[in-house]
Structure 1
Amino acid sequence: MKSLASAEVLSETRARLLRVATDDQPLWGRMTVWQMMRHLGCSSELALGERPMEPVKGVPSALIKFVALRTALPWPKNSKTMPELIQALDECPETGFEELVGVAVAKMEDVARATRLAPKHPIFGSMTTADWMRLGYLHADHHLRQFGR
């Protein structure tokens, strides 16, 4: 299973992020390419423990985590984004697209290098380093495919 723990997968994912262009259009969803880059950077901040979020109530987290991280089932194309991540899109100062890409890549690399990541995810509950590495790859891959990358 692909994970940011693999130097090869990290390099491949970085290259895909760097190929994203400002005029890329989503194949599904309402997120713009600018929002997607900001979203990926903020999601890495969650893993790094830099962006606290409230737990999401609903289906048992262990079941959701298993399906999302350990099965080959594709992620839903229009799943809801956590409110804190939606709010974070509005926090984004005026910045160039290249800077947003740079932050998304740097934060992803920070996650890959991290020796200590957040103990919990708002939806998936308890997380190991291996869980965060797998999630980091799957989440980036999901959004890169959203924009045809």
Structure 2
Amino acid sequence: MKNIFDKTVTEELINRIHQLDTNAAPKWGKMSVGQMLAHCCVTYEFIYDNTHPKPKGLKKWMLKTFVKKIVTNEKPYKKNGRTAPEFIMTSAKAFETEKERLTKFLLKTQALGGSHFDQKESHSFGKLNRNEWNNMFYKHLDHHLNQFGV
């Protein structure tokens, strides 16, 4: 798995994002390109914006017990997989706004570096090591950029 905390990898991802345009169509799924970018921003909103309530009780247990392994391992996501309600985008999203937000989140994450995230508490999965954070960040974004052919 590529290391999102490496400046070269972050630049590669940003370059892929900049290859998108408002007419980009998905190879699978229903999201528009603006919705996909907003969807990818949710991961970073959990960390930086504190706009989503933390899961509690049974939901938190299910996320830590079952979902964490899927999200943080190196196995690529399947096409048309299920997603958490917070990630579902039903309204139109402004392409340029979402592209800029995602780029800023990537730059901030890379600047903080892997050591900042090592053993940091995640929104949904408890403490993650730097490799788990990296896999979660990189795998999700790579999956959706591939969805739109970049």
2:4 aligned residue: 4
Aligned-residue identity in percent: 28
Q: 2:82 aligns with which of 80, 83, 90?
A: 80
TM-score (norm 2): 0.77
1:136 aligned residue: 137
Q: 1:61 aligns with which of 64, 71, 81?
A: 64
Task: Write out per-residue CA displacement over residues 62-119 of structure 1, whole angstroms, 9 at most, x where no aligned residue.
Answer: 6644454333x321211222112226x6496xx4x22221111111222222365561
1:70 aligned residue: 73
Larger CA deviation: 133-142 vs 108-117: 108-117
Larger CA deviation: 61-70 vs 20-29: 61-70
The residue identity in structure 1 corresponding to 2:97 is E
2:40 aligned residue: 40
Q: Is the 8 A contact 1:5 1:130 kept in 2?
A: no
Number of aligned positions between the proteins: 143
Task: Write out per-residue CA displacement over residues 40-76 of structure 1, whole angstroms, 9 at most, x where no aligned residue.
Answer: 12221123363434444676736644454333x3212
The residue identity in structure 2 corresponding to 1:101 is K
The residue identity in structure 1 corresponding to 2:127 is S
Q: Distance in 2 between matches of 1:141 and 1:39?
A: 13
The residue identity in structure 1 corresponding to 2:112 is A
Q: Distance in 2 between matches of 1:27 and 1:91?
A: 19
What stretches of structure 1 of length at least 5 have no aligned partner?
Answer: none
Instruction: Indicate yes or no: 2:105 matched with 1:107.
Output: yes
The residue identity in structure 2 corresponding to 1:50 is N
Q: Secondary structure at the match of 1:119?
A: strand
